A and B are shown apart, each in its own frame.
Chain A
Amino acid sequence: MALGKTSELKILTPEGVEFSLPLAGPLTRCVAWAFDLVVIVALFQLISQVLMILSLVSRDMSTALMVALQFVTLVGYGIFFEWFWRGQTLGKRIMSLQVIDERGLTLKLNQIILRNLFRVLDSLPMFYMVGGLACLFSARAQRLGDLAAGTLVIRRLVVAEPEIDELLEGNENSFQDYPRLQARLRQRVSPQEVRLAVDAVLRRNELSLEARLRVFEQLADFFRAKVEFPDEVTHGLSDEQYVRNVVATLFNRKMSK
């Protein structure tokens, strides 16, 4: 991997808002390309079947059209779909990938044409070796066509709104009687630490009993060190229940039945 390789594209908008887009790796792109290859081969078959009829009239014209249409399909497939589907071919759609401008903007036609013409170079000497290696070693997983056209391939994830209520169903949050301490806890916990606690609660049933006890013990100790709740609240509270209270507090859920 190249030095400074990143897995996401960070964009700072003119409004001063920063957001990130996950970059697609060589493997996912390769699978998308395999799907596209299947489509291209199917199109070739379709063309040859249709031209079979024409060959009854003129074999020469039929073969000539086959050569020309296969060439146009090979060059034009990516250009056509990426233009009309805004950066997606059929394979990319299946794999939820999308080509975007490296500044996060929509693509221009000349970018689409250029990145597709560069396939003659990226596909050398066989099976996209040049492009694959470039993708593997470039900082933003770009093949040469992407570098020339100023494009990136991202994973197009439509993130669903989180359902914290479901997660905390059945949880009695005994911390709610101490709103000041709750506020302090919210102030002292970072987003990554929240994520850790949520993940632990989410995946608790996947853990063995021993691991589950150990994980929640460590997490509970960690959050106890952030803010100390009075004994009357924490007395008899298991480590796991403690962490669930922390999550409920961080998401400011009053109480679940």
Chain B
Amino acid sequence: MILDLDVFIETERSFWDELQVMLKRQVKQPDRRLSMDEVRRFQYLYQRASADLVKINTFAGDVEIKAYLESLVARSYSQLHEQGDRHTRLSPLVWLWVTFPQTFRRHWRAFALSFGTFLVGSGFGAGMLASDYEIKSDLIPGQFGHLSGKPSERVSMEENQKFDYFEERQTFSATLMANNIKVSYMAMVMGFSYGVFTVIMMFYNGVLIGAIAFDYVADGQGVFLLAWLLPHGSIELPAIFIGGQAGLVLGRAMFGWGTNLRLRQRLRLIRADLITLIVGASLMMVWAGLIESFLSQYHGAALYPGKIIFGAIELAALILFLSLAGRKRAKGNL
């Protein structure tokens, strides 16, 4: 303790008070832009408080002054070292047409693995049902009760219903959106288990769809199945795969293959991509929810060709969008 604390505090207090006032103002008005002079002054005061903290640590033992200065320096530090995106204008169109498809393509291997796992699951589900039809009730959970009976009976019932028997389409649509978006979130966050649970989720979804598809095709209801699933499924299933893709990107970052970066650094690198993928998947789920409620549930032989064509066009458009959108910009950035 070789610092004259009285003199030190007396000299520095006015600077600390000034910094305190600037910090309080910034907290009260977070979006207020400082002028260049204010920024310079703020930086000067921050550096001065930092130097004072070093002096206190080195030459004096006052714990309370140290805590006070630490609090001041910590708050100033976080204000001064902003990471930049608070004042960046979000451009939804650029994000949709450039950022999202570019991010999707950057991680295409993770998408391929997600989709591939689903396909393997589908094959497994179909194979299981082909080998032993009795296990259908075990494969298809209770919540899909309308799928437990014979497909041709359900088709006949659906086709003979009055056109507007289903009176709560809007609620159904909102519920579908919320549930499906939750499923894609889950597929992503499960990537934290080094991707294991994401793979299991994709596989399980595949088993379910594979078993249902086999059941309908084996019963001669392939056209109904396509007309029922394709309009919304052509968007909903890829959205689930993209959720899985995000989960596998996260899983890979957890493993850290091919890099000597630490886990924190690896996660920092993929964070923006995860958000882009999951927000993209959520938007796709909103569209799929609308289509599933307002188009997919209308059945009738006359409607099937139109519904299948609509679903096929959607799928083609999605493939084109994800493979081509934002390519020019990507080249330009190189």
Tell which of A20, A61, A159 has the most Cβ of chain B within 10 Å.
Answer: A159
- Chain B residues lying within 8 Å of A221, measured Cβ to Cβ, are none
Q: Is B130 in contact with chain A by the CB < 8 A criterion? A: no
Nearest Cβ distance between residue A155 and chain B, in whole angstroms?
Answer: 11
Tell which of B61, B67, B79 has the most Cβ of chain A within 10 Å.
Answer: B61
> Quick check: A117 and B185 within 8 Å, CB to CB?
yes
Q: Is A210 in contact with chain B by the CB < 8 A criterion? A: no
Chain B 140-166 interface residues, beta-carbon cutoff 8 Å to A: none
Q: Is B62 in contact with chain A by the CB < 8 A criterion? A: yes
> Quick check: A111 and B168 within 8 Å, CB to CB?
no
Q: Is B209 in contact with chain A by the CB < 8 A criterion? A: no
> Quick check: A109 and B30 within 8 Å, CB to CB?
no
Cross-chain contact of A117 among B47, B175, B188 (Cβ < 8 A):
B188
- Chain A residues lying within 8 Å of B181, measured Cβ to Cβ, are 71
Chain A 52-67 interface residues, beta-carbon cutoff 8 Å to B: 58, 60-61, 63-65, 67
Complex-state Cα separation, A194 to B63, whole angstroms: 7
- Chain A residues lying within 8 Å of B61, measured Cβ to Cβ, are 186, 189-194, 250
Q: Is B261 in contact with chain A by the CB < 8 A criterion? A: no
Q: Chain B 178-191 against A: per-residue CB contact (8 Å), 1 yes, 0 no? A: 10011001101110
Whether A114 contacts B70 in the complex (CB less than 8 A), given A162-B64, A192-B63, A198-B63, comes out as no
Nearest Cβ distance between residue A163 and chain B, in whole angstroms?
Answer: 9
Nearest Cβ distance between residue A79 and chain B, in whole angstroms?
Answer: 11
Complex-state Cα separation, A166 to B64, whole angstroms: 14
> Quick check: B192 and A63 within 8 Å, CB to CB?
no
- Chain B residues lying within 8 Å of A120, measured Cβ to Cβ, are 182, 185-186, 189
Q: Is B73 in contact with chain A by the CB < 8 A criterion? A: yes
Nearest Cβ distance between residue A230 and chain B, in whole angstroms?
Answer: 21
Q: Is A102 in contact with chain B by the CB < 8 A criterion? A: yes
Tell which of A84, A190, A252, A253 has the most Cβ of chain B within 10 Å.
Answer: A252
> Quick check: A162 and B271 within 8 Å, CB to CB?
no
> Quick check: B78 and A100 within 8 Å, CB to CB?
yes
Complex-state Cα separation, A60 to B251, whole angstroms: 41
Q: Is B89 in contact with chain A by the CB < 8 A criterion? A: no
Q: Is A11 in contact with chain B by the CB < 8 A criterion? A: yes
Nearest Cβ distance between residue B284 and chain A, in whole angstroms?
Answer: 16
Chain B residue with the shortest CB-CB distance to A13: B77
> Quick check: B169 and A19 within 8 Å, CB to CB?
no
Cross-chain contact of B171 among A60, A117, A189, A193 (Cβ < 8 A):
A60
Q: How large is the interface on A (under 10, 10 to 19, 20 to 34, 35 or more residues)?
A: 35 or more
Q: Is A149 in contact with chain B by the CB < 8 A criterion? A: yes
Complex-state Cα separation, A47 to B27, whole angstroms: 30
Complex-state Cα separation, A15 to B48, whole angstroms: 11
- Chain A residues lying within 8 Å of B84, measured Cβ to Cβ, are 108
Nearest Cβ distance between residue B278 and chain A, in whole angstroms?
Answer: 7
Cross-chain contact of B67 among A85, A159, A252 (Cβ < 8 A):
A159
Whether A67 contacts B83 in the complex (CB less than 8 A), given A120-B189, A251-B62, comes out as no
Which one, B1-9, B112-120, B199-207, B231-239, is touching chain A? B1-9
Q: Chain A 225-245 against B: per-residue CB contact (8 Å), 1 yes, 0 no? A: 000000000000000000000
Q: Is A43 in contact with chain B by the CB < 8 A criterion? A: no
> Quick check: A117 and B62 within 8 Å, CB to CB?
no
Whether A64 contacts B68 in the complex (CB less than 8 A), given A104-B78, A110-B271, comes out as no
Chain A residue with the shortest CB-CB distance to B54: A17
Whether A189 contacts B264 in the complex (CB less than 8 A), given A19-B73, A60-B171, comes out as no
> Quick check: B177 and A252 within 8 Å, CB to CB?
no
Q: Is B129 in contact with chain A by the CB < 8 A criterion? A: no
Interface residues of B, dominant DSSP = helix
Whether A21 contacts B2 in the complex (CB less than 8 A), given A65-B174, A102-B264, comes out as no
Whether A150 contacts B78 in the complex (CB less than 8 A), given A186-B2, A194-B62, A198-B63, comes out as no
Complex-state Cα separation, A148 to B27, whole angstroms: 26
Nearest Cβ distance between residue B99 and chain A, in whole angstroms?
Answer: 12
Nearest Cβ distance between residue B171 and chain A, in whole angstroms?
Answer: 4
Complex-state Cα separation, A226 to B28, whole angstroms: 48
Chain B residue with the shortest CB-CB distance to A61: B170
Nearest Cβ distance between residue B55 and chain A, in whole angstroms?
Answer: 11
Q: Is B53 in contact with chain A by the CB < 8 A criterion? A: yes
> Quick check: A121 and B192 within 8 Å, CB to CB?
yes
Nearest Cβ distance between residue B270 and chain A, in whole angstroms?
Answer: 10
Nearest Cβ distance between residue B276 and chain A, in whole angstroms?
Answer: 9
Q: Is B272 in contact with chain A by the CB < 8 A criterion? A: yes
Q: Is A209 in contact with chain B by the CB < 8 A criterion? A: no
Cross-chain contact of A64 among B2, B54, B86, B173 (Cβ < 8 A):
B173
- Chain B residues lying within 8 Å of A18, measured Cβ to Cβ, are 57
Q: Is A224 in contact with chain B by the CB < 8 A criterion? A: no
Chain A 113-161 interface residues, beta-carbon cutoff 8 Å to B: 113-114, 117-118, 120-121, 144, 147-150, 157-161
List residues of A whose CB falls within 8 A of some B CB. 11, 13, 15-21, 58, 60-61, 63-65, 67-68, 71, 84-86, 100-102, 104-111, 113-114, 117-118, 120-121, 144, 147-150, 157-162, 183, 185-187, 189-195, 198, 250-253
Besides A68-B174, A118-B189, 5 new A-B residue pairs in contact (Cβ under 8 A), listed by A number = A18-B57, A19-B69, A58-B170, A114-B275, A162-B64
Among all A-B residue pairs, the 3 with the closest Cβ atoms: A186-B1, A162-B64, A191-B61
Can you spell out 17 A-B residue pairs with CB atoms less than 8 angstroms apart? A17-B73, A60-B170, A60-B171, A64-B171, A67-B171, A108-B83, A110-B274, A117-B185, A118-B189, A144-B192, A158-B71, A160-B68, A161-B64, A162-B64, A185-B1, A186-B60, A195-B63
